[in-house]
Amino acid sequence: MAAAAAAAAAAATSTSRLLHHHHHHTSSAGSNRQHLQKQLRYSAKPYPLALRPGGSGCRLWPKVAALLPDRVSPFSYGEDDQDEHPREECGLVGVVGDPDAASLCYLGLQKLQHRGEEGAGIVAVGGDGKLKSVTGLGLVADVFGDPARLASLPGPAAIGHVRYSTAGAAASLRNVQPFLAGYRFGQVAVAHNGNLVNYQALRNKLEARGSIFNTSSDTEVILHLIATSLSRPLLSRICDACERLAGAYSLLFLTADKLFAVRDPHGFRPLVLGRRRNGAVAFASETCALDLIDATYEREVEPGEVVVVDRRDMSVSSACLVPHRPRRACVFEHIYFALPNSVVFSHAVHERRTAFGRALAEESPAPGADVVIPVPDSGFYAALGFAHASGLEFQQGLIRWHYSGRSFIQPTQAIRDLAVKLKLAPVHGVIRGKSVVVVDDSLVRGTTSSKIVRLLRDAGAREVHMRIASPPVVGSCLYGIDTPSEGELISNRMDLEGVRRQIGSDSLAFLSLDKLHSIYGAEAEGYCDACFSRKYPVLPTLAEPALELED
């Protein structure tokens, strides 16, 4: 067991070095760390070992999994092994003060489709002040393919949501947001991006007091907390509810006369505010959605802030949700999730990715290489930065086919291998006879990377050097991202040389965590990198003594 932990620590701390130079480091748990935090950070054992007697460190993840909602399970992952990237869970759009609010939300959700492809919905305020909901399974264009569905949502205010789901909940329409509910003071709709790590504890308490749940989503807990709050008005109820939440949440609430935008005090997930020329106020998970609906980006919703827009007079006010806590924005938004034409956490995403690529070239050059190619689409800017810093030619050596849909399990390995070529096709003239540097944004399970290496060798590449513009992923996410179990994370099971052999490349290097931090400078402490470091800012609530969290 100690050897496994040491191997994971080695992968996390010395990954930027080329294989023939890398060194192993062991990690110390630290005498003052709480037991659960220690296990979260340093247990490197695959999940199946948790079932073995005596595996004390491995019993952690089953406990954690039991406390998380079905929407985010650290043990479930899609059947499509063609794309091993973690998946963002949700995208939000809200518009108030425009007669075409629902149509604008529809367009914004289209732009945020990459953040969730399994369900979509919009709730709008009609002229009579009543809230109406349209939700469905599938892509945004599928859900609203019938023009009558969007036409049924007239009114000056609306919120929308796209989602991914896991653990068997994908086919459940009842889990598709926004959720619309009535309580004694009227109707309220909510859309949520993130994950509540104390969801199960809250649900257990609410159910013991008589609450009845209709979904397996942690978002429903928020509605129950609002409904049972003794405060008035709704702003106070929202603040009361959020004071009891732990974890990641960016929220949009809609009532007959107001829209509320809320961000958790750590700021895990993004949420931005913009304004259209007609004075309408818009909110979205990414600025690319604002751009599409001609809304000018103004600022982020700050961590711990509630922004209230009153549609009656279009006044905008702000309140502090909870006392200040250390900022922990998700670094993976910059690495992979957000579109490159977005501004996220006040940084242009394409500039961050280009910087990651430059830093990777400085740490782990590929002497003698002929050409740098990206793994499309998210590896493009990192590869561009690597090529510029290396003085190497940049080419598009792999072409992604965007119309193949999800590739489910095929009957034979030969057919599965052919299915890879449907999604990624090599440009033979760029690759044949060349020493190729392949730059990807991340390496999670290793399945896609190994297939890409084989694809390039079959296309005539003389050498294949894999460069990853982020540190090794060694921990599952607790804050709203669909990642595989720790046992499926290849860098959690193998050291650098083992990963290289597994994917079959001539060399392999990751961007080191220290180098990633150096790119952010003084801001580095404000980012959550738990998937790389296992330093979890907020832990699940367990039926154990209170735990001290990191400052």
**3-state DSSP of 135-169:** EEECCHHHHCCCHHHHHCCCECEEEEEEECCCCCC
Task: Report whether 298 contacts 275 (CB < 8 A).
Answer: yes
Fill in the amino acid letter for 367.
P
Beta strands of 147-246 (E only): which ranges? 157-163, 179-183, 186-196
**Cβ burial 177-209 (10 Å sphere, 16+ → b, else e):** bbbbeeeeeebbbbbbbbbbbbbbbbbeebeee
d(CA 539, CA 387): 40
d(CA 188, CA 174): 16
H-only helix segments in 286-379: 287-292, 332, 349-363
d(CA 365, CA 373): 14
d(CA 81, CA 103): 35
Q: Which residue bears the tokens 């009656």?
A: 312
d(CA 406, CA 423): 10
- For residue 498, the SS3 value is helix
Sheet (strand 157-163) strand order: 131-137, 119-125, 157-163, 90-96, 281-284, 272-276, 295-300
Q: How many CA atoms lie within 13 A of 181 on its CB side?
A: 21
The alpha carbon of 166 is separated from its chain's Cα centroid by a whole number of angstroms, namely 13
d(CA 41, CA 474): 9
Other Cβ atoms less than 10 A from the Cβ of 309: the count is 24
Q: Which of 90, 242, 288, 531 is catalytic?
A: 90
What is the CA angle 317-323-327, rounded to 5? 95
d(CA 491, CA 531): 11
| 477 annotated active-site | no
Helix, strand and coil content of the chain, in percent to the nearest 5, comes to 35, 25, 40
Other Cβ atoms less than 10 A from the Cβ of 516: the count is 25
Q: Which residue bears the tokens 């996410």?
A: 477
Nearest to 526 by CA among 387, 323, 348, 331: 331
Which strand (E) or helix (H) includes residue 329? strand 329-330
Q: Which residue bears the tokens 């959550």?
A: 528
Nearest to 486 by CA among 6, 23, 77: 77
Other Cβ atoms less than 10 A from the Cβ of 405: the count is 9
Report, as residue numbers or ranges, the catalytic residues: 90
